Structure 1
Amino acid sequence: MANPKKEGTFKWNATQTYDNGDVVKWTGKEDSAHPTPTTTVKKGANPNDTHSDSSQGDSIVLWIVAIVAIVISLIALFKQAHPKKFN
C-alpha cells in the first residue's frame, strides 16, 4: 500500500438509511447533530523501512502447539469411538 502524497482532512457526505425507512444525511457542520464525516490523512513512514517483529522461534512454538492439539484431538476421538478399551 502506498503512502499518501498529500496530508489533510478530507470531508465526505454520507447518507444512512435505517431498517425502519428513516434516512439521515450526514452533511452538517461539525457542531450539528449529523456532522459531515471526516478522514484525517497523514504521511506514513518510508515504505522501504519495514521489518517484522516476529521471530522464527514463534513459528516453531506455534507448530509444536498445533501438533500437540492434533494429537490430543485424535486421542479424544479414539477414546470416544472405542470407550471399552480404556475403561
Structure 2
Amino acid sequence: MSKKKKWSTVMMTMLSLFLFAGIASAHVTVQPAETTQGTYEVFTVRVPSEEENVTTKSVQVKVPEGAAVSRVQPKPGWKVELEKTAENAIASITWTAEGEGLAQTEFDEFRIQGRVADDAKELVWKAYQTYSDNTVVEWVGADGSDHPASVTTVLAGTAEGDAHGAAAAVSGDNAAVPSDSDSSTDAVTLWLAIAALAVSVIALIFVLARRRKA
C-alpha cells in the first residue's frame, strides 16, 4: 500500500472515530461531573434530541440516593411534575413540553437544586426520555453501555463551612482569634509596603536630581 493510501486510511479511521464519539456522547447528562459531600448544589440536566422525524416530548429524572432535591427552576414552555415519597421528599422530576418539543438538532437544559449527603460517594442519575411517537429511551445503564446513566462523582467534604457551602460565622466566646502566623504575615506585608514606598521615593528624588543637572 502506498504512503498516500495509508494516510487516507488513517484519516478516514480517525474521522469515523470522531463522528462515533460525537454520536455516543449525545445522551442525557447531569452536570457538574463532580461535587462535594454536605453541600448544596445546582444540577443541570442536559437533554439532546437524537431521533429522526420525532421530537423529545418529556424527560423524567430520578433523584439518586445521596441527593435531596428541594427546588426546581421554572422552565418556560415546559410543565414540571414532581413525584414525592411518603415522607414528602422529591423522588423524581418530569418535564413535559407544552409545544412540539425538541427536534433532532436541538437540546435543552433543566436546573434543579439540592443537598448532597454527607456520606455520598457518587450520584447515579437515571433518566427516561420520551419521544412524540411514545418511544422511551431509558438512560439507566452502566458506563460504556448504549444508554448509560449520568454519574456525578462526590468528593470528600470538609468540616468547615455551613450546609450551604459558605464559611460559618462565629461570634461571642467562640470567635476566631488571629494566630501568631497571621500576625507575622500581616507584619511582613506591612514592611514590604513600606520598602516599596521608600524605593519609589528614592527613584523620584534621583529623577528630579538628574533633571536639575540637565
Q: Answer 1 or 2: which has greater helix percent.
A: 1
TM-score, normalised on structure 1? 0.47
TM-score, normalised on structure 2? 0.23
Q: Answer 1 or 2: which has greater strand percent.
A: 2
